[in-house]
């Protein structure tokens, strides 16, 4: 419906997540059992079943996302990943001098693995029968995923916020839907504010932790309940919590920056209202509950986090999404995605 002045009135579509922990538990436990029984072979099918469940329960505008990757192609990628790791281990064990060649080979392959992974995931993800796509280049991945992080570490983390900004720009701006691009842009100082905030959170939590340990030690000593030295065992878990909370704070702030400044096809807008504090609580409490249940809480933890993050997203549409037609994209190899996942490159926003 046109707004005043002939402009198109925007329509807000909030994302929804309909998954349930009990439902996902049944999928997860069968996946785990079959993967163990088949010595990991079924893990390719397990991944597809998991992604289809999570995608299929993610709705926007009354329609769900879809994931239709072939488990056979994923299995091939994993076989190549395992073969490469075995080749590396045997080669280095018998001919240690070859380790340099392996490092060079991995360094050369990393940008290709990143692009192949992102492209495979995008092309096997769809919404209303229209596929996403990723058009990254080898040079782009090399600069944004390799060179920028090296500069970040090399400058004692002074350029790490800039590296994160460059990576997020590359990730978002190279994606497309129905042939129409996504684009995000925001000034560098805003990502520095996020990182400074994360560091401040970490220091505040560490300071509070030491104060708490000091008071606890004094109480234990005066009450003669336990040896005061036992309070020192709290240092590591409190440090781990402080680190996790601060890292989650930075990640969510950067995530919000990228999405709240993103547009699709130059007009449709994305919105993210994810709270870094709520997400930090979910991450920490999920971890504790997974430990207490010896891993059995994992399906509920995954659904809990997915529901919160998904339902804090919105799409602001100017016009009609039905105007977009199906974009045919040629199939892409799963090898890059699976090798990258095997070596835990942590690709994504």
48 half-sphere exposure, CB direction, 13 A CA radius: 15
What is the model's pLDDT at position 329?
A: 43
Write the pLDDT tens digit of every residue in 273-293: 999 999 999 999 999 999 999
Q: 254, 59, 51: which is closest to 172 by C-alpha?
A: 254
Q: 123, 200, 180: which is closest to 319 by C-alpha?
A: 180
Residue 101: pLDDT band by 50, 70, 90 thresholds?
Answer: very high
66 Cβ contact list (under 8 Å, min separation 6): 52, 55, 56, 125, 126, 127, 129
**What percent of the chain clears pLDDT 70, i.e. is strictly above it?**
87
What angle do helix axes 160-173 and 235-260 make, rounded to 10 degrees?
Answer: 50
**What percent of the chain clears pLDDT 90, i.e. is strictly above it?**
74
- CA Rg value for the chain: 23
Alpha carbons 317 and 297: distance in angstroms, whole number: 37
What is the model's pLDDT at position 81?
A: 86
Alpha carbons 156 and 154: distance in angstroms, whole number: 5
Strand order in the sheet with 58-60: 11-14, 313-317, 268-272, 262-264, 180-184, 175-177, 130-134, 125-127, 63-67, 58-60, 16-17
Alpha carbons 318 and 320: distance in angstroms, whole number: 7
Q: 96, 216, 126, 111: which is closest to 170 by C-alpha?
A: 111
**Picking from 48-52, 174-178, 330-334, which range would have the lowest pLDDT averaged per residue?**
330-334
What is the model's pLDDT at position 218?
A: 75
DSSP 34-59: HHHHTTTTTHHHHHHHHHHHHHHTEE
Residue 268: pLDDT band by 50, 70, 90 thresholds?
Answer: very high
214 Cβ contact list (under 8 Å, min separation 6): none
What is the model's pLDDT at position 78?
A: 86
Residue 214: pLDDT band by 50, 70, 90 thresholds?
Answer: confident
What is the model's pLDDT at position 68?
A: 93
pTM: 0.89
Work out the average pLDDT over 83-105. 92
Contact assessment for residue 274 and residue 309, using Cβ atoms and an 8 Å cutoff: yes
* Backbone φ/ψ region at 179: left (φ over 0), alpha (ψ -120 to 50), beta: left
What is the model's pLDDT at position 13?
A: 96
Work out the average pLDDT over 128-147. 95
Q: 297, 326, 341: which is closest to 123 by C-alpha?
A: 326
In this model, does residue 341 exceed pLDDT 70? no
**Picking from 59-73, 142-156, 281-295, 314-328, which range would have the lowest pLDDT averaged per residue?**
314-328
DSSP helix/strand/coil, 272: strand
Residue 5: pLDDT band by 50, 70, 90 thresholds?
Answer: low
What is the model's pLDDT at position 333?
A: 61
310 vs 232: which has the higher pLDDT: 310
Write the pLDDT tens digit of every residue in 297-331: 999 999 999 999 999 999 999 987 777 654 444 44
Highest-scoring range by mean pLDDT, 100-114, 153-167, 330-344 = 153-167
Write down the mean pLDDT value for the chain: 89
Alpha carbons 269 and 335: distance in angstroms, whole number: 33
Alpha carbons 18 and 60: distance in angstroms, whole number: 11
Contact assessment for residue 177 and residue 212, using Cβ atoms and an 8 Å cutoff: no
**Picking from 166-175, 185-194, 210-219, 259-268, which range would have the lowest pLDDT averaged per residue?**
210-219
């Amino acid at each position: 419906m046109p707004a005043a002045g002939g402009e198109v009135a925007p329509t807000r579509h909030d994302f929804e997540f309909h998954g349930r922990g009990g439902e996902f538990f049944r999928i997860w436990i069968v996946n785990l059992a079959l993967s163990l029984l088949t010595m990991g072979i079924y893990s390719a099918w397990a991944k597809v079943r998991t992604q289809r469940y999570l995608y299929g329960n993610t709705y926007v505008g009354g329609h769900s996302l879809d994931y239709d990757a072939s488990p056979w192609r994923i299995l091939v990628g994993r076989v190549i990943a395992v073969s490469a790791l075995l080749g590396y281990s045997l080669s280095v064990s018998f001919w240690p001098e070859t380790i340099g060649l392996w490092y060079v080979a991995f360094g050369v392959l990393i940008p290709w693995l990143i692009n192949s992974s992102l492209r495979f995931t995008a092309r096997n993800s769809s919404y209303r029968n229209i596929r996403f796509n990723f058009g990254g280049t080898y040079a782009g991945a090399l600069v944004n995923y390799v060179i920028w992080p090296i500069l970040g570490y090399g400058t004692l983390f002074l350029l790490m916020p800039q590296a994160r900004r460059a990576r997020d720009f590359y990730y978002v701006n190279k994606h497309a839907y129905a042939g129409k691009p996504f684009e995000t842009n925001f000034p560098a100082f805003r990502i520095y504010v996020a990182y400074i905030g994360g560091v401040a959170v970490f220091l505040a939590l560490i300071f509070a932790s030491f104060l708490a340990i000091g008071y606890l030690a004094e109480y234990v000593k005066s009450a003669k309940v336990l040896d005061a030295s036992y309070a020192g065992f709290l240092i590591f878990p409190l440090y781990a919590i402080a680190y996790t909370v601060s890292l989650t704070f930075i990640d969510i702030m950067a995530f919000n920056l990228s999405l709240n400044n993103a547009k699709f096809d130059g007009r449709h807008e994305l919105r993210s209202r994810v709270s870094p504090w709520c997400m930090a609580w979910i991450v920490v409490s999920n971890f504790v509950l997974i430990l207490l249940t010896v891993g059995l809480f994992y399906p509920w933890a995954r659904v809990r986090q997915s529901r919160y993050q998904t339902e804090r997203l919105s799409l602001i549409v100017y016009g009609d999404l039905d105007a977009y037609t199906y974009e045919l994209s040629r199939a892409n190899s799963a090898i890059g995605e699976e090798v990258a996942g095997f070596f835990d490159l942590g690709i994504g926003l």
